[in-house]
Amino acid sequence: MQDLRELNEAIAAIKQEILDHAGELESSRGVYEFKKGFLDSKKGKLSQLMKEMRNIPNESKAEFGKNVNAAKEWAVNFFEELDTKLKAEELKRRYESEKIDITMPAVQPKYGNLHPITTVRNQLTEIFASMGFEVYEGTEIETDFYNFTALNTPQDHPARDMQDTFYLSPEFLLRTQTSAGQIHVMQSKKPPIKVVSPGKVFRSDDDATHSPMFSQMEGLVVDEGINLCDLQGSLNMFVQQIFGEQTTTRLRPSYFPFTEPSVEVDVSCFQCGGKGCKLCKGTGWIEVLGAGVVNKKVLENCGIDSEKYSGFAFGLGLERIAMLKYGINNIKLLFESDLRVLDQIDD
Ligand code: PHE
């Protein structure tokens, strides 16, 4: 037989236990676990008190039952309030941690842009297209015939030493110059001819201004009565568009087996206007390309009547133009794909 008073004290002790430990609870999950210890229908301390019912004298049963139920109800409410409070706190903490600072500078999306060589190639192609030139793209692997022999540079010709060649076999090679395209064009087309031929070329050459792979653009015009003046006139128009209206050209005698006469073409320095500066090494002029009047032998090699027709040809390095235009002093910067460099070149 249990004393009702003792049992009521047990109820009070349980309530006290709940109150004592409730402060340690930090999360809704914690409340749930803690609550089970008291209210779980089997193992909960309050539920178990009901088992004492059978030990209680009949006249006290009703009161004891009422007290346990009251304690249960109190506990349910107590835990519910605590749970609501902790859930609110949890939410507040989450909001704090997930807070977005809208005053922070946004991450700028990066847009890609064309590589400077592509840009220069497009610009040059457009300029020549506006002057009526067609575009012919040759192949990077060529035969010795197209790259040299047909261009009046037979085996053992000393001019072969001007270009250190990567041979793939005695017959095939990586083209050293887009001039190889001249022959293809003249074999397949009869005058009037007006083409530019951009593309990659290869030479065993490697320093700050030379790379084993680089890009050239060839120009070829063949028609009746074409001479060196036509060449200079066309090149003047071209350099004015690429380097500015004040730019002019000067021709210096040179040698290429496939042109006669041959010239090196300089442009007046677009940085100092010809006075002399670091870029033009104090001379007022910058060398940009090789050119000349197409050698009669080359026309004849392609079955073109050299008595009736004449032509001019020029070849320029796209990297060289890009380096001059963008002030780049090492050709390797154009091939390393370093975004810190490329990001600065955009037009
Ligand atoms: N092919 C020559 C070179 O690569 C350039 C050139 C082209 C010269 C056409 C004259 C005429 O050096």
By the 10 Å C-beta count (0-12 exposed, 13-18 middle, 19+ buried), 246 is classed as exposed
Residues written for the chain: 347
Cα-to-chain-centroid distance, residue 267? 33
In the numeric block, which tokens belong to residue 329? 């002093």
Closest atom of ligand 1 to CA, residue 316: 5
* Strands of the sheet with 213-223, listed across from one edge: 134-135, 193-202, 213-223, 310-317, 285-294, 259-268, 249-256
Q: Give the mean model confidence (pLDDT) for residues 312-336.
A: 92
Q: Whose CA is nearest to atom 9 of ligand 1?
A: 314
Residue with tokens 């040059």: 124
Per-residue pLDDT, 113: 83
Per-residue pLDDT, 321: 93
Residue 36 has pLDDT above 50, yes or no: yes
**Are 185 and 221 spatial neighbours (Cβ–Cβ below 8 Å)?**
no
Choose between 37 and 142: higher pLDDT.
142
Per-residue pLDDT, 121: 96
Say which DSSP state 107 is in. Answer: P
Closest atom of ligand 1 to CA, residue 290: 8
Q: Whose CA is nearest to atom 4 of ligand 1?
A: 177
Question: If we measure between CA atoms, which residue out of 137, 237, 258, 260 comes closest to residue 195?
Answer: 137
Q: What is the average pLDDT value for the chain, to the nearest integer?
A: 91
Confidence of residue 347 (pLDDT cuts 50, 70, 90): low
Q: Give the mean model confidence (pLDDT) for residues 255-263.
A: 97
Q: Burial code of 55-71, b = ≥16 C-beta within 10 A, e = fewer?
A: ebeeebeeebeebbeeb
- Distance (angstroms) between ligand 1 centre and the Cα of 117 equals 19
Closest atom of ligand 1 to CA, residue 201: 4
Residue 29 has pLDDT above 60, yes or no: yes
> Can you tell me the distance from the alpha carbon of 259 to that of 312, in angstroms, rounded to the nearest whole number?
8
- The amino acid at 67: N
Per-residue pLDDT, 1: 46
Of 69-73, 187-191, 239-243, the least confident: 69-73
- Distance (angstroms) between ligand 1 centre and the Cα of 315 equals 4
Phi, psi for 142 (deg, rounded to 5): -130, 170
- pTM exceeding the 0.75 threshold for the entire prediction: no
- Distance (angstroms) between ligand 1 centre and the Cα of 337 equals 28
Q: Which residues line ligand 1 (CB under 6 A)?
A: 177, 179, 218, 256, 259, 290-292, 313-315
Residue 43 has pLDDT above 90, yes or no: no
Pocket perturbation via mutation, ligand 1, pick of 164, 179, 222, 265 by most ligand atoms within 8 A of CB: 179
**Are 38 and 21 spatial neighbours (Cβ–Cβ below 8 Å)?**
no
**Are 258 and 157 spatial neighbours (Cβ–Cβ below 8 Å)?**
no
Of 305-309, 314-318, 343-347, the least confident: 343-347
Residue 158 has pLDDT above 90, yes or no: no
For the chain, the farthest-separated pair of C-alpha atoms sits apart, in whole angstroms, at 139
Confidence of residue 2 (pLDDT cuts 50, 70, 90): low
Choose between 112 and 175: higher pLDDT.
175
Which one of 21-35, 239-253, 272-286 scores highest in mean pLDDT?
239-253
Choose between 25 and 291: higher pLDDT.
291
Q: Helix H segments across 226-308? A: 228-243, 296-301
Per-residue pLDDT, 160: 81
The three-state secondary structure class of 20 is helix
- Distance (angstroms) between ligand 1 centre and the Cα of 287 equals 13
> Can you tell me the distance from the alpha carbon of 140 to that of 121, in angstroms, rounded to the nearest whole number?
17
Per-residue pLDDT, 185: 97
Instruction: Report the share of the chain in percent with pLDDT over 90.
Output: 57
Q: Whose CA is nearest to atom 10 of ligand 1?
A: 291
The three-state secondary structure class of 143 is strand
